[in-house]
Amino acid sequence: MSKVRKIIVGVDGSESSLTALLWALGEARLRNTEVEVIHSWSLTPMVDPMGFASFVPIEELSVAATNVVDDMMKKVAEFVGPTKVTTKIARGPAAAALIESAKDAELLVVGRRGHGGFMGLLLGSVAQQVAHHGPCPVVIVSDENK
């Protein structure tokens, strides 16, 4: 049985990840490969001024994650063409989910920056982690020249 050729692309709803997704779709057409779009979420406590932690219900986080992917796919629908695209919602740290999913991929694509803090950073934390630990070639797409 032959291995499925695919490009993994991480999305988080940001403009940077939209640019990465568009780039991955274009590259998939050139390579005649599939694209797997991955979004990851994790349970993060919210601390109120009194120091009490509360959690958003898991169901809400799961729905929000699905909405992020659905919104991204709507934005690129006209660019998909004949390329086979699958989506995956992963629970846990984004970099870990992307690295794990890319074990059998020919390429891992991410945007330069996402929704994280420290806007002055040149490279987002997920991009930095996959660049160092990706199991296949990694492309970090910049959206500055749009």
How high is the pLDDT of residue 59?
83
Q: Which domains does the chain have, with CATH numbers?
A: 6-141 (3.40.50.620)
In the chain, the DSSP E strands lie at 6-10, 34-41, 46-47, 53-54, 85-91, 107-111, 138-141
What is the distance between the alpha carbons of residues 77 and 40, in angstroms, rounded to a whole number? 21
How high is the pLDDT of residue 23?
96
Average pLDDT, 10 consecutive residues per value, the chain (146 residues): 81 93 96 96 74 72 92 94 94 94 96 62 80 95 68
